[in-house]
Amino acid sequence: MTFHHFVNCFALAYAPYYLTYKYSGLYDYRAIWKCVQAGLFYILTQLIKMLILATFFPSADISESSSALEAVLRNTLDLIDFGGVYYVLNRIPGKGPGKVLVTGVGWGAAELFLNRFVLLWVGARGMEFDWKYLQLSFDANLSLVYFLSIAALVWLYSRNDFPSNLLPLVCIFLVGANYIPTFLDMLTRFFGVSGVLLLGIKTVMVMAVAAVSTVMFSVLN
């Protein structure tokens, strides 16, 4: 039973990335190395953020009473990710849709491996069934949608031919998407929201960002 649970969790977490790569056209163009490069830039970006956090916001100096402020500061630092995504988009040759797919899949796959692989490998193989690992696997799917949406929004922002009157909307959704973890953290901290309900709220928010990015992306395609 636990082995089947482990297989189900891994399939739920990793299959969408493979299927996206396989059937989005990336497989036909042998873009695996480009996705790997995007993943490596994700790792480099996280190292830069960790260095900044360790230098300017050491955990030992932050008290429990200021933990909410710490969450805000950490998510503000996540704005660096947009710079990393922008850099990757500019380094990848090809048309816009291909750049967005490569960046989103590579970035998301690296995040999945670094942040969830060990948890699933150790936890989902435990002696007892636990729903939290299925939720963790489903959350990995949301991350794929999230990073594809962010890549699309950053690409739109960098385009000279994108309507200037829509640029503020792009910025609003980029910044808003960046602070989704802060909003969810506040719901948990002050209202006790957790589990499936918290995941459901995150799903609605990520899908809203995805819907807006899809509509705006269609303006140029």
Query: Whose CA is closest to 151, among 181, 106, 114, 116?
Result: 106
pLDDT the model gives residue 117: 87
pLDDT the model gives residue 8: 84
**What is the pLDDT confidence band of residue 139, given thresholds at 50, 70 and 90?**
very high
**What is the pLDDT confidence band of residue 64, given thresholds at 50, 70 and 90?**
very low
- What is the DSSP-derived secondary structure letter of residue 61? G
N- to C-terminal Cα separation, the chain:
47
Ramachandran sector of residue 111 (left: φ over 0; alpha: ψ -120 to 50; beta: rest): alpha
pLDDT the model gives residue 54: 83
pLDDT in tens, 87-136: 999 988 888 889 999 999 999 999 999 998 888 888 776 656 678 888 99
pLDDT in tens, 195-213: 999 999 999 999 999 999 9
Above 50 in pLDDT, residue 60? Answer: no
d(CA 19, CA 105): 10
d(CA 211, CA 134): 25
pLDDT in tens, 152-197: 999 999 998 888 889 999 999 999 999 999 999 899 988 999 999 9
